[in-house]
Structure 1
Amino acid sequence: AEQDPDVLDTWFSSWLWPFATMGWPEQTDTLKKFYPTTDLVTGPDIIFFWVARMIMAGYEYMGELPFKNVYFTGIIRDKQGRKMSKTLGNSPDPLVLIAQYGADALRFGTMRSAPLGQDVLFDEKDVELGRNFCNKLWNACRFRQMQGGEVQGEIDSSKLTTDDKWILLKLNEAIREITEALNSYNFSVAVQALYRFFWNEYCDWYVEASKAVFFGTDEARKANSLAVIDFVLSHTIRLFHPFLPFITEELWHGMGYAADMPDDQGGKTIMNAPWPKPFDSDLRDAYSLDDCYLEFAAQKYEVVTQGRNLRRVGNIQSGKKVKFVIKPSREILPHDAEVIKILLNAEAFEINADYAAKKGTPTAHTPWGELFLPLEGHIDPVAETARLTKDLEKIQTEITKVEQKLANPAFAQKVPATVLQEHQQRLVEWQGKLDHVKAALEALAG
C-alpha cells in the first residue's frame, strides 16, 4: 500500500475555516464583517488539531487572531461516566428525545446538568425536568392571562405590596446573577439561577401570595399587581430566551409583550428584544425598593414554612382546611396575615397575643412569634400516638438494616459506587423520617 501523495488530511483544510468560508482570498463584505469573530465553541480534544492551527493560519493569512475566546464543551457521557457508544447502547437519539419532550426541554435539561469545565453525565430525567419546567413557565403565563388579557401599564409605586417589592428585588438579583454567569460562560449557573428564581421565588411564593390581592376587592391594587406580573414576566421571558428559544418566542407574542415594541427591539422577534439590565438607582427609588423588604418577606415566608411543618408534625394533609394561631412578637398587618392564611391553606389565621395552647398542640417559634396548630377535631391523640409509635419502630428497623450494610467492608468494596451512594442517601432519608416522627410524638406528649 502506498500513501496518496497529493491528498491533504481533513485538518489541513479545517484550519482555514475562519476565513475560507467567507470568500477568502477575496476581501468580501462578509469576511470584513465577521473576521475576526468573538467566540469559538469546540471540544478540548482537538486543541492541537484545529484550534491552534486556525490561530496560526489566521496570523499567517489575515494578520490577526481569528477569535478572542475559546469555549470548551464537556463530553456527554452516560450517568455512569461512560462515553456514549453504539456498542454499549447508551447513546439516546436526540430526535426521539425531542419528539417526546420537546427541543427546549432537551436544551434546558442538558445545560442545567453541564457544569463549567466538566463532562456532562446525561440522564433522561434531566430532560424530563426540562419539560416540566417548560410546562411551569407556560402555566404561569396562563395564570396571568386568566386574571385579564390586557397588558397593564406603568406600576403605581404607592400601591405596591411588600410581596411586590420583594419579587422586584429578587428579579433584580436574578438579572445580575444570570448576566454575570453568561458573561463568564458559566451556563449551568445561569440556568440554575433562573430555575431558582422562577420556580421557587416567583411561582411558589409570589404568585401564591398575590392571590391575597386577586381574591380581594381592591380593583386598583389588582391592576397594579398585574402590572408587576407583566413587568416580571416580560423580563423573565427574555432571560429564558437563550435557553428556551421556542417557547419564549411563542409566549413573547402570545402575552402581548411584543405589541408596543419597535420591530428591531422585540416587535418582530424576541431575539432582538433588549437584554434586561440590573435596576439603576432611579428605578429602585421610584418603587422604594429597599433591601429591608427582602428580610421582611423572608421572615413572613418562614412563618408559612414553619406552619407547613406543623401540618406534617400533626399529620394534617396540606389540602385540609385548619386554623392556625400566632402569638405575635411584632405587628402583623391585615394584608400580610391574609397572605400567610392563603399560603398555609388555612380556614383562619388568628392573631392572639393571649392565646393559651392546650397540651399536645404542635408549636413552632417563628420570626414573627409563636405559631400554633390546634388539633382539636382533627385527630385522635391516642390513636395518633399508637400509629406514630408503630412507624417509629419500622423506621428504626430500616435504619439498622442500612447501617449494617454500610458498615460491612465487603459490601462497600463489591458494589458499584452508584449503589453505595443510593444506600447512603437512603440512610439520610430514613433518619429524616425518624426526626419527623420523634417531633410528632413530642408534640402530642406536650
Structure 2
Amino acid sequence: PDRWAKVYDHWMANIKDWSISRQLWWGHRIPVWYNRAAFQLLEKRLIPISITGIKPATTNHIRLPAEPIYNPDASKMLYVKDPSEITITNSELLTQATPDQIKQIFESALYLGLTPPGEDVGPVPIHNFLHALVYKGQLYALRIACVEKNGMLCVQKLLLQRSETNPALPRIQIQNFNHDNAPKNSITVRELIPDPYRDPAFTLARMESPGDGWDQDPDVLDTWFSSWLWPFATMGWTGNPEADAKNPTLNRFYPTTDLVTGPDIIFFWVARMIMAGYEFTGKPPFYNVYFTGIIRDKLGRKMSKSLGNSPDPLELIDKYGADALRYGTIRAAPLGQDVLFDEKDVELGRNFCNKIWNACRYRQLQGGPVLQPINPNLLTTDDRWILHCLNNAIVNLTSALEGYRFNEATHILHRFFWAEFCDWYLETTKAIVTRGKQQDKRLNTLAVIDFVLHATLRMFHPFMPHITEELWHSMGFAAHHDPDTGGKTIMFAPWPKPLSEQQIQFYGITNQVIDFIQHRNELVTKGRNLKRELNIPASKKVNFVLVPEVDLSEDDLEVLRILLGAETLEVMKAYQTPRGTPVIHSVLGSLYLPLAGVVDIPSEIARLQKELSKLKSEMEKVLSKLNNPIFLEKAPNEVILQYQERLAELQTTIERIEQTIGMLQSAN
C-alpha cells in the first residue's frame, strides 16, 4: 500500500553509516585479510599528527564560519568545507574540530573510537591506529590523540600537554594561513590516506586466503549485508559483465516482478536490495513490493506461544487441507492490514474445496466428450447468462490480482462459483442435462459447463493449487493442451482471457438476456422466502400458479419449476384466486401459492403471532437504546450503527410477518 512508500522515502532521505560487522558465532565471515608482518612494522613507525589548516572550496585562505562555535576554552572552531583538501602536518600547532568533522576527514578510516571522560576527570587521550600509510617508500601507521570534552573532539599531537599559554607552541595566524605556504612537511589527505582495498601492504578483500602471514577478520557480516545480494547472487551472478550476459537464469529471472515481505524490514532488506541491485547490476531487483500484514487472533492479539493463541499450521492442514488453509488465510487478509485469523475462515475454505469437487463430479457423472465447441444456436438463456458472469469474473479477478487485492479476489471467486455457477446455473442445467430429451442440446450445455470449469480451475489455481491440479487432470482438460501450455501441469496453462466483443455477439449475450435472468432469479428468491415464512420445508414439493406478463419457453418454465422446488408450475392467463392465497408480483408475472392441503392455517397463524411478539419486544429494546441520549453520547459510532441497522431489519421483518398473518386470516 501507498502508506509504506512514505516509510521507504523517510529511510532513504536519512541514510546513515552502516556498521556491517557483527560479533556472532554464525554468519558469513568478513572476507578481509590482514598482514601480520605489516602490523608489526606499523607498530614501530608512527606519525603523530595534528590538523593545522583548511582550504575552502572557493578560496585558498582559511575561512571561519559566519556564526563561530566556541569550545569551553573560547577557541573558535574551524569549519570543514572540503574534507579532501584538509592539510595534515607534523607541526605542533594545536587545533580543534567537532567529532562529525573528524569522521569526515578520515572517512576512509577503519574505525574511530571515542571514550567519553568520567565525571570530574580531565580530558583523556585515546590513541587510535586509523590507517596504513605508504609514504615515500616507507610503511607507517597514522596515529592521533583524540580528546572528548563537552561534546567536542580535540585533535592534538601525541602527549602534547594542552595549554593555551604554553610558549613552546609555535603560533600561526589562522586568518592569514595560506594553503600554498603550508609547512614543508605537510601533505594533503589525498596523499596521506590510501585506499585500504588497494594497499596490499595492509589488507586484502577476497574470499580465499592470500597465503601464509595473513589473518582473516574474526567478525561476520551483518545479516542484511549478505542478504542484499540475494536477488542476483542466487542466480549465479559473478560480477563479470561478459559472463553474466551469457547466464540464462540471470537473464530470465532478474529483475523479477514482485517481492513479498513484511513492512518491518523495509530499510534493512528491501531498500538495501534495491541499492545493491543498481550498484552491481545497474538494474532494480524487482518492480513491485507487496507487504503482508501480521497474523493476529480474532481478538486482535499478536500470536505468540506464551499466549497460546498460535495454532499449528500442520494440524490445520491435517484437519482441513492445505488448500483450505491457504484460501481461508488469503480471504481474511485485506490489503495493507493485519490478518485477524479465525479457524472458521479455514473451515469455509474447506467447504469451498468440497463445492468445487462436487461441481466437477456432477459434470463427470454426465459423461460425454470434453471441451467440445459451443453451438450458439443451441444455447439456453441460462447458458448465455453464465458466460456473461464468467466474463465479469475474469475481468474483476484479473483487476484485483493486478492491484494486489488478494482477499477481494477470493470474494470474487466465491460469488461467481458458489452463488452464480453452483447455486443458480448448475441447478438450471438439470432441466436439460438430466431431464432433457434433445441430445444435441444436452451436449451443448455440457460444453458450456466444460468451458466454465476449464477457465474456473485456472482462476482458482493460485489460491488452491492442489485440488485444481488434481481436477485439471481428472476432468481431462490437460489432455487438450501441449505439455508447455497446460498438458504437464495446470501451472503452465495460460490465464483466462475475457470474452472479446466478437465472442459476446457470437454467443448472443445481450442485456435482455441478463435482465431476464435477474428478474427470474428475483422471482425464485421471493418464492423460496414465501415457503420459508409459511414454515414449509424447502424439500417439500408444492404447487405454484403463474400468471405470466411475458412469453416464456417450455425450457424457461421447466427451469423455473426446478428452481422453485415445485411439484407443478401451472401457467394461466387468468386465475380465479382463492381468498387469502399468497402472491408474489414480479416483472415476469404474478406467482401464487395455493394453501389448500399445504399449510395448517390456524397453527401457522399462532406460530407467526408468537414470533411477531418476540420481534416487537426486541425492537422496543433497540428503540430504547437509540432514544437514550446518554447511550448516543458515550457509545462508539460503530455500535450505534449496529443498533440502527438492527432496527431497520426488525421493522422490515415485522411488516412482512404482519402481511403474512393478514393473508392467512383472510384465507381461514
Q: Contact between 2:263 and 2:292, CA under 8 Å: does it hold in 1?
A: yes
Distance change in 2, residues 1:102/1:358 (3 Å): same
List, as ranges, runs of 4+ consecutive aligned residues in structure 1 with deviation greater than 4 Å: 401-433
- With over 3 angstroms needed to count, the CA separation of the structure-2 counterparts of 1:384 and 1:33, relative to structure 1, is closer
CA contact (8 A) 1:212 1:339 kept: yes
- 2:447 matches 1:260: no
Q: Deviations over 1:266-288 (max 9, x none)?
A: 11111111111011123223222
1:318-351 per-position Cα deviation (integer Å, ceiling 9, x unaligned): 1111111122111122111111100011011111
Distance 2:597 2:490 in 1: 55
Shift of 1:8: 2.9
Task: Output one character per residue of 1:238-260: Cα deviation in whole Å (capped at 9) or x when no partner.
Answer: 11111110000000000011112
Q: Deviations over 1:85-109 (max 9, x none)?
A: 1122111111111111001001111
Give SS of 1:65's match: coil
Cα offset for 1:428?
6.9
* TM-score where L is the length of structure 2: 0.63
What's the secondary structure of 2:480's corresponding residue?
A: coil
Provide the secondary structure at the position in 2 that maps to 1:308. Answer: helix
Give unmatched runs, 5+ long, in structure 1: none
1:85-96 alignment to 2 at 5 Å? Answer: 85-96=304-315
Distance 1:227 1:250 in 2: 20
The question of 1:192 aligning with 2:411 is answered yes
1:249 aligned partner: 469
- 1:240 corresponds, among 460, 469, 494, to 460
Could you list the per-position Cα deviations for residues 208-255 of structure 1 after superposition, in whole angstroms to 9, with x for gaps in the alignment? 011111212111111111111111111111111111100000000000
Structure (1 or 2) with the greater strand fraction = 2
Alignment of 1:38-437 (within 5 A): 38-148=257-367, 150-214=369-433, 215-401=435-621, 433-437=653-657
Distance in 2 between residues matched to 1:247 and 1:140, nearest whole Å: 13
- Contact 1:399–1:427 (Cα < 8 Å) also in 2: yes
Instruction: Give deviations 1:376-428, integer Å, cap 9, x for gaps.
Output: 11123223212211222223234445655777799999999999999888767
DSSP-derived class of the 1:63 partner: coil
Counterparts in 2 of 1:241 and 1:377: CA distance versus 1, 3 Å: same
The 1:82–1:413 alpha-carbon spacing in structure 2 relative to 1, beyond 3 Å, is farther
8 Å CA contact 2:232, 2:250 repeated in 1: yes
One-letter amino acid of the counterpart of residue 260, structure 2:
V
Does structure 1 conserve the Cα–Cα contact (< 8 Å) formed by 2:368 and 2:443?
Answer: no
Question: What is the TM-score when the length of structure 1 is the normalising length?
Answer: 0.92
Aligned to 1:35: 254
How far, CA to CA, are the matches of 1:87 and 1:410 in structure 2? 40
**In structure 2, distance between residues paired with 1:392 and 1:147:** 47
Q: 151-160 vs 283-292, which deviates more? A: 283-292
The equivalent residue for 2:156 is none
Structure 1 residue matching 2:545: 3-state secondary structure? strand
**3-state SS, counterpart of residue 478 of structure 2:** coil
* Distance across 2 between alignment mates of 1:139 and 1:261: 24
Q: Does 1:15 align with 2:228?
A: yes
- Distance in 2, Cα, partners of 1:94 & 1:302: 42
Amino acid aligned to 1:343: L
Q: Distance in 2 between matches of 1:99 and 1:187?
A: 25
Other structure's SS at 1:325 match:
strand
Look up the equivalent residue of 2:323 and give its one-letter code.
D
Following superposition, the deviation at residue 361 of structure 1 comes to 1.3
Q: Report the number of matched residues.
A: 444
Q: Tell me the distance in 2 between the aligned counterparts of 1:380 and 1:241.
A: 50
Is contact 1:313-1:443 (8 Å) kept?
no
Greater shift in the superposed pair: 359-368 or 284-293? 284-293
Letter in 2 for 1:360: G
1:259 alignment partner, SS class: helix
Q: How many Å apart are 1:22 and its aligned residue?
A: 2.5
Contact 1:302/1:367 (8 A) holds in 2 = no
In 2, Cα distance between the equivalents of 1:149 and 1:213? 14
**Closer/same/farther in 2, CA of residues 45 and 435 from structure 1, 3 Å limit:** farther
Separation (CA, whole Å) in 1 of partners of 2:546 and 2:658: 23
Which 10-residue stretch deviates more, 4-13 or 326-335? 4-13
C-alpha change, 1:35 and 1:117, in structure 2 (3 Å) is same
Name stretches of at least 5 consecutive residues in structure 2 with no aligned partner: 1-21, 24-217
Provide closer, same or farther for how the CA distance between residues 424 and 124 of structure 1 changes in structure 2, counting only shifts above 3 A: farther
Deviation at 1:437, TM superposition (A): 2.5
Cα contact 1:314–1:362 (8 A) shared by 2: no
Rounded to whole Å, the distance in 2 between the matches of 1:52 and 1:297 is: 53
What is the rounded CA distance, in whole Å, between the counterparts of 2:220 and 2:363 in structure 1?
Answer: 63
Cα pair 1:58 1:64 within 8 Å, conserved: yes
Q: 1:279 to 1:15 in 2, by over 3 A?
A: same
Per-residue deviation at 1:115?
Answer: 1.5
Query: Deviations for 1:195-220, whole angstroms, at most 9, x for unmatched residues?
Result: 10000000000000111112121111
How far, CA to CA, are the matches of 1:99 and 1:412 in structure 2?
48
